[in-house]
Amino acid sequence: MFEIIGNYFTQVGERLDWNWDLVECVVLPRLFGTVYTDIGFAAGCKDPALSHEMFGALGNTLTAVFLGYSIALVVGLIFAIGQRTPSKLLSRVVRELVEFIRSTPLVVQIFFVFFVGPQFGLTLSPWVAGMTAIGLHYAAYLSEVYRGALNAVPAGQMEACVALNIPARRSFFGIIVPQALPLALPGMGNYLIGIFKDTPMLMVIGVAEMMHVATAIGSQYWRYTEVMTIVGLVFLALSIPTAIILRIFEGYIRRKMGMTR
């Protein structure tokens, strides 16, 4: 049994056309930037394909995640609050906006902001257009996470605030939001990983994140195996620890909030 499986992998290994020189001298320098070559890797390469950036394509991907997620966290909260206001008109408008954003593909939105915007006098750089699209898209998702978490805080908490005469703003940010936070964290973590894995869509407007660089290398050398495998492994290597850290953080917040014994 084990012999058969072992043989299978040996055969796959023999058939797999894998070029370590390409990985060392092109793929890794472009993905990880000058940091990689400065450390002393790629020393044996005659002509390593240097990245211009210090942290290479990975740096751009992580920057996109950080900026996009930051926008989404804040705008998502604004969307969620907008749906809770007493004004029927405002909450309806925000509701429909969220529904609209959620119901169209991210890649279409990225194209639209970047290519159609200029026709209306809105010319944005790839980075600004990309961050706007990805930030708003995930803001719509996050607003639903926030909304669910805020609704899950018992109505009695707000009533206690009214009974104690606590002002509305303090009631919301000091009493309701802290209780909603542990409830929102699983969903928030989910979309952090989601946004990370959706950054490749930014390649369509020329943001030099990992996928953009990967396809460039692929078409230049007409070899995709190495670069796509490495990119996939980088995503995997970062997603899994992020998920674990988020879980630990959630437990920490719950204990800190006195939510568990």
Partner 1 sequence: MEDMTQYPLELTGDVPMVRFCNVTKSYGALVVLASLNLDIQAGEMVSIIGPSGSGKTTVLRMLMTLEKINGGVIYLDGKPMTHMPKNGVLVPATEKYIRSVKGDIGMCFQHFNLFPHMTALQNCIEAPVQVLGMSKKDAIERAEEMLDMVGLADKKDQHPIRLSGGQQQRVAIARALCMRPKVMLLDEVTSALDPEVIGEVTAVIKKLVAEHSLTMLMVTHQMGFARDISDRVCFFYDGKIEEMGTPDELFDSPQRERTQQFLSAVKSAD
Site of interaction with partner 1 (CB under 8 A) = 154, 156-157, 159-160, 162-167, 170, 174-175, 178-179, 257-261
- Nearest distance from C-beta of residue 163 to partner 1, angstroms: 4
- Nearest distance from C-beta of residue 70 to partner 1, angstroms: 25
Q: Which is nearer to partner 1, 127 or 172 (CB)?
A: 172
Query: Which three-class secondary structure state does DSSP give residue 144?
Result: helix
- Between CA 117 and CA 135 the distance in angstroms is 16
Q: Which is nearer to partner 1, 153 or 228 (CB)?
A: 153
- Nearest distance from C-beta of residue 158 to partner 1, angstroms: 9
- Between CA 148 and CA 184 the distance in angstroms is 8
Give CA separation, 245 vs 141, 221, 249, 254, in Å.
21, 37, 6, 14
Q: Which is nearer to partner 1, 204 or 253 (CB)?
A: 253
Q: Which is nearer to partner 1, 97 or 175 (CB)?
A: 175
- Residues 202 and 215 sit within 8 Å (Cβ to Cβ): no
**Helix, strand, coil percentages for the chain (3-state, nearest 5):** 80, 0, 20
- Nearest distance from C-beta of residue 149 to partner 1, angstroms: 13
Joined together, the tokens standing for residue 81 give 């609050």
- Nearest distance from C-beta of residue 190 to partner 1, angstroms: 23
Q: Which is nearer to partner 1, 197 or 256 (CB)?
A: 256
Q: Which of 195, 152, 202 is nearest to 176 (CA)?
A: 152
The owner of tokens 């692929």 is 218
For the chain, the C-alpha Rg in angstroms (whole number) is 23
- Residues 140 and 98 sit within 8 Å (Cβ to Cβ): yes
- Nearest distance from C-beta of residue 101 to partner 1, angstroms: 32
Q: Which is nearer to partner 1, 157 or 220 (CB)?
A: 157
Q: Which is nearer to partner 1, 174 or 241 (CB)?
A: 174
The owner of tokens 């990309």 is 130
**Cα angle value 241/242/246 (rounded, 5°):** 115
- Nearest distance from C-beta of residue 256 to partner 1, angstroms: 8
